[in-house]
């Protein structure tokens, strides 16, 4: 038996050892801080540009604003009112909320079936869903647009984009939630069944309350996916007055290509909601993205 | 335990039925439709007009300079651009992401660095496009990159990074690397923390240098997460569209087009739905191996990372 007194602490360092350690580690600090700064500069540049006076933007780089102190909210006023970005922001919300909740609900129901209720061809159907997770959107664009246009012009309303996002979010939802649901304690579910609880009651009262982290992870991933999507909205939202920000900003670029004050303010408006989610729910956010990695 | 009654089995099917119907109508049927359309010219209403057999594919691969041009060196076209993306986007993302993951665990401000690198993951490709249009601006009063280079060398002439056919693809690739590295770093960093400390300690006690520990212990133990990340990056490359649509529109000329962009352009701008469908089918073929891999891995391990 060794005693504590005899053990030499591994962390004991003389002064010179610490100096050497610091010097040998300097390259690591330089590399890490250097890359972090390079990674921050583009976003900081956009944020500062969005708060600068338009005439200053044309005459000096955004980095001068740190000493010029010329902040204004004017750009946001212009971009929200004059270019209709406020309206487009609302459209983004109208598109994103149902397009997140629908696949979450349908996905959770299906995942419960796959996890806890046996039925014919269950494994085969589940494998098909695994394969569907990475089907490229491009194979659906034309047939879906045709389908929507023929049946009540769904592409002129939000229904088309809601349905399309639901279909594309579902495989991942079913996959993730099923994999989480099967880890729930079997005894608990069996006990409820013996007490006579229906399947739906088990789903609502046991599975859903115990699976909040998984539901949150998928919810955040899907929210980000839909909010940030450009291609699907470009195709499935034909009415310009219903288009989300991701689709309206490219128009802004082609119309006001050199007016960086407007472009920067618009881009920042698009970014701030996901960034708030990121900083508020960082843990779920990272989990959601990691879980979503099987999709892309 | 009480056996499942016939009624409960039917109930199980009822739970999955809504999802299966949505998938069949909005995902599987459309895929079938697109594959079929690829063998037609197609009309304005996306109908099966004028059967062509494999002509669309032949045309794409042998007679469309914007898609694949092997007649000169270096070869060009959308498919070649995707190959550039595969090499440089995947290579750079892995290199920077792995480097950050390995170095960040050694410092106390790990969380701050990681947050800074990860934040772009939350930003829409549309906004990433605007951010990098600003960085790359040829006007040194706007573009920080040209301003920086001019600051280093006063004789430097500002470069139009997105205006030169030989530079534009690399400029786009770097912007997308910027947006993706956070993911690579977080996955690999989690895996590194999962390596038992005793293994590393034992190697250090035996006198192994840091480089050898990295090469002979870390890298082999990271092979699974590395493959997961590489597949994720590969799918990104096949699907990349938004950032190109926003930043260059496939230009200058057609020099920054990729497969997904060609599909959009031919179908919705040039009115050639059959031709566009053939491009979509090529995308599906390129992604198919990954689908097979996912299914296989799921069947063998019953878990997918």
Whole-number pLDDT of residue A296: 42
Domain boundary among B227, B253, B279: B253
Whole-number pLDDT of residue B213: 86
Whole-number pLDDT of residue A2: 40
| CA A253 remoteness from chain centre | 24
Nearest chain A residue to B303, by CA:
A179
Of B9, B235, B246, the CB nearest to A250: B246
Q: What whole-number distance in Å separates Cα of residue B232 and Cα of residue B183? A: 10
Nearest chain A residue to B242, by CA:
A230
B125 touches chain A (CB under 8 A): yes
B108 touches chain A (CB under 8 A): no
Q: Are A289 and B183 in contact (CB under 8 A)?
A: yes
Which residue, B288, B285, B273, is CA-closest to B37? B273
Whole-number pLDDT of residue A293: 58
Is B11 part of a structural domain of the chain? no
pLDDT surpassing 70 at residue B77: yes
Is B263 part of a structural domain of the chain? no
Whole-number pLDDT of residue A271: 95
**Segment B72-94 mean pLDDT:** 95
Instruction: Please list every residue in chain B whose beta carbon sits closer than 8 Å to the beta carbon of residue A277.
Output: 122
Q: What whole-number distance in Å separates Cα of residue A208 and Cα of residue A108? A: 8
Structure tokens of A229?
């999507």
pLDDT surpassing 60 at residue B208: yes
Nearest chain B residue to A63, by CA:
B144
Comparing B72 with A8, the larger pLDDT belongs to B72
- Domain ranges, residue B288: 23-75+270-305
Min Cα–Cα distance to chain A from B114, Å: 8
Of B46, B119, B264, the CB nearest to A43: B119
**Segment B126-131 mean pLDDT:** 97
Whole-number pLDDT of residue A291: 64
CB contact under 8 A, A245 and B27: no
B28 touches chain A (CB under 8 A): yes
Comparing B124 with B217, the larger pLDDT belongs to B124
Distances (CA, A) of A32 to A28, A35, B114, B135: 6, 5, 10, 21
Q: What whole-number distance in Å separates Cα of residue B111 and Cα of residue A96? A: 30
pLDDT surpassing 90 at residue B73: no
Instruction: Please list every residue in chain A whose beta carbon sits closer than 8 Å to the beta carbon of residue B204.
Output: none
Residues B58 and B106 in one domain: no
A/B interface, count of CB pairs below 8 Å: 310
Q: What whole-number distance in Å separates Cα of residue B66 and Cα of residue B76? A: 8
Which residues, numbered 32 to 61 in chain B, qualify as contacts with chain A under a Cβ-Cβ cut-off of 8 Å?
Answer: 33-35, 37, 45-46
CB contact under 8 A, A179 and B121: no
Min Cα–Cα distance to chain B from A72, Å: 18
CATH number of A83-294: 1.10.3720.10
Q: Report pLDDT digits (tens) over B27-46.
A: 999 999 999 999 999 988 88
Whole-number pLDDT of residue B26: 94
Residues B196 and B288 in one domain: no
Residues B52 and B129 in one domain: no
Whole-number pLDDT of residue A64: 87
Is B236 part of a structural domain of the chain? yes
Whole-number pLDDT of residue A6: 46
Is B106 part of a structural domain of the chain? yes
CB contact under 8 A, A253 and B130: yes
Whole-number pLDDT of residue B209: 84
* Phi, psi (rounded to 5 degrees) for A52: -100, 160
Residues B243 and B274 in one domain: no
Residue linked to tokens 């010029």: A68
- b vs e for B138-154, b when ≥16 Cβ sit within 10 Å of the residue's Cβ? eebbbbbbbbeeeeeee
B260 touches chain A (CB under 8 A): yes
Look up the CATH number of the domain holding residue B117. Answer: 1.10.3720.10
**Segment B268-288 mean pLDDT:** 96
Residues B126 and B59 in one domain: no
CB contact under 8 A, A61 and B277: no
Is B62 part of a structural domain of the chain? yes
pLDDT surpassing 60 at residue B303: no
Q: Which residues contact B230 (CB under 8 A, 6 or more apart)?
A: B90, B94
Residues B109 and B59 in one domain: no
pLDDT surpassing 80 at residue B9: no
Nearest chain A residue to B113, by CA:
A36
**Segment B226-240 mean pLDDT:** 94
> Per-10-residue mean pLDDT for chain A, 296 residues long?
44 72 84 94 94 85 83 91 92 97 97 91 91 92 94 88 96 93 91 89 94 90 95 95 96 86 95 90 74 54
Whole-number pLDDT of residue B2: 60
**Segment B161-182 mean pLDDT:** 96
**Segment B242-261 mean pLDDT:** 95
Q: What whole-number distance in Å separates Cα of residue B283 and Cα of residue B162? A: 26
With a threshold of 0.90, does the pTM exceed it? yes
Q: What are the domain boundaries of chain A?
A: 4-77, 83-294
Residues B181 and B89 in one domain: yes
Q: What is the DSSP letter of A7?
A: P
Residues B28 and B173 in one domain: no
Q: Are B176 and B128 in contact (CB under 8 A)?
A: yes
Of A136, A167, A271, the CB nearest to B283: A136
Residues B55 and B191 in one domain: no
Residues B196 and B137 in one domain: yes
Of A144, A246, A282, the CB nearest to B26: A144
Q: Are A277 and B125 in contact (CB under 8 A)?
A: no
Residues B217 and B82 in one domain: yes
The complex's ipTM works out to 0.92
DSSP assignments along B100-165, one per residue: HHHHHTTSTTHHHHHHHHHGGGGS-HHHHHHHHHHHH-SSTTT-HHHHHHHHH-TTPPP--TTT-H
Of A28, A136, A289, the CB nearest to B183: A289
Give the mutation candidate from A29, A143, A193 for the B interface (greatest B CB count, under 10 A).
A143
Q: How many domains does chain B have?
A: 2
Whole-number pLDDT of residue A8: 45
Q: Are B304 and B290 in contact (CB under 8 A)?
A: no
Whole-number pLDDT of residue A1: 39
Q: Are B32 and A130 in contact (CB under 8 A)?
A: no
Q: What whole-number distance in Å separates Cα of residue B279 and Cα of residue B68? A: 12
B276 touches chain A (CB under 8 A): yes
Instruction: Please list every residue in chain A whose beta carbon sits closer than 8 Å to the beta carbon of residue B142.
Output: 57, 61-62, 260
CB contact under 8 A, B2 and A194: yes
Least confident of A161-165, B149-153, B292-296: B292-296
Q: Are A271 and A281 in contact (CB under 8 A)?
A: no
Residues B35 and B109 in one domain: no
* Phi, psi (rounded to 5 degrees) for B51: -65, 135
CB contact under 8 A, B178 and A39: yes
């Amino acid at each position: 038996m060794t005693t504590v007194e005899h053990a030499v602490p591994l962390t004991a360092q003389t002064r010179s050892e610490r100096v050497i350690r610091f010097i040998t580690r300097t390259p690591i600090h330089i590399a890490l801080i250097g890359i972090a700064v390079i990674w921050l500069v583009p976003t900081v540049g956009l944020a500062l540009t969005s708060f600068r006076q338009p005439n200053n933007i044309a005459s000096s780089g955004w980095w001068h604003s740190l000493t010029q102190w010329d902040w204004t909210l004017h750009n946001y006023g212009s971009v929200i009112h004059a270019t209709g970005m406020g309206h487009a922001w609302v459209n983004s919300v109208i598109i994103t909320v149902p397009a997140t909740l629908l696949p979450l609900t349908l996905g959770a129901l299906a995942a419960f079936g796959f996890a806890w209720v046996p039925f014919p061809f269950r494994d085969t159907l589940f494998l098909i869903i695994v394969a569907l997770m990475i089907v490229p959107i491009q194979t659906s664009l034309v047939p879906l647009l045709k389908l929507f246009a023929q049946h009540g012009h769904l592409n002129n309303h939000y229904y088309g984009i809601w349905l399309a996002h639901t279909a594309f979010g579902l495989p991942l939802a079913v996959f993730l939630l099923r994999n989480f649901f099967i880890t729930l304690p079997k005894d608990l579910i069996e006990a409820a069944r013996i007490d006579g609880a229906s399947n739906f009651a088990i789903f609502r009262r046991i599975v859903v309350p115990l699976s909040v982290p998984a539901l949150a992870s998928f919810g955040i991933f899907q929210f980000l996916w839909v909010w940030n999507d450009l291609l699907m909205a470009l195709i499935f939202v034909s009415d310009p007055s219903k288009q989300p920000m991701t689709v309206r900003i490219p128009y802004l670029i082609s119309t006001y290509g050199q007016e960086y004050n407007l472009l920067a303010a618009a881009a920042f408006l698009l970014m701030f909601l996901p960034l708030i989610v990121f900083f508020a729910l960082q843990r779920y956010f990272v989990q959601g993205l990691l879980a979503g990695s099987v999709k892309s | 335990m009480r056996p499942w009654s016939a009624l409960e089995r039917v109930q199980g099917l009822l739970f999955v039925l809504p999802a299966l119907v949505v998938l069949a109508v909005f995902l599987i049927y459309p895929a079938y439709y697109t594959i079929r359309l690829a063998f037609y010219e197609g009309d304005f209403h996306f109908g099966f007009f004028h059967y062509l057999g494999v002509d669309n594919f032949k045309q794409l691969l042998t007679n469309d300079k914007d898609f694949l041009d092997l007649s000169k060196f270096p070869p060009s076209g959308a498919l070649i651009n995707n190959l550039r993306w595969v090499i440089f986007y995947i290579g750079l993302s892995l290199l920077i992401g792995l480097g950050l993951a390995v170095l960040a665990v050694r410092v106390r401000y790990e969380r701050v660095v990681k947050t800074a690198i990860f934040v772009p993951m939350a930003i829409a490709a549309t906004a990433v496009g605007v951010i990098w249009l600003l960085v790359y601006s040829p006007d040194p009063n706007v573009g920080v990159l040209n301003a920086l280079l001019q600051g280093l060398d006063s004789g430097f002439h500002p470069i139009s990074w997105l205006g030169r056919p030989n530079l534009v693809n690399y400029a786009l690739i770097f912007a997308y690397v910027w947006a993706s590295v956070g993911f690579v770093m977080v996955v690999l960093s989690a895996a590194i923390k999962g390596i038992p400390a005793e293994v590393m300690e034992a190697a250090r006690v035996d006198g192994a240098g840091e480089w050898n520990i990295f090469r002979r212990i870390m890298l082999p133990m990271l092979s699974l997460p590395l493959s997961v990340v590489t597949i994720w990056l590969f799918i990104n490359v096949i699907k990349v569209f938004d950032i190109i649509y926003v930043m260059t529109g496939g230009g200058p000329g057609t020099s920054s087009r990729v497969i997904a962009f060609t599909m959009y352009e031919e179908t919705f701008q040039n009115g050639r739905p059959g031709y566009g469908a053939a491009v979509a089918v090529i995308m599906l073929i390129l992604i198919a191996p990954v689908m097979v891999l996912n299914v296989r891995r799921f069947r063998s391990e019953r878990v997918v990372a």
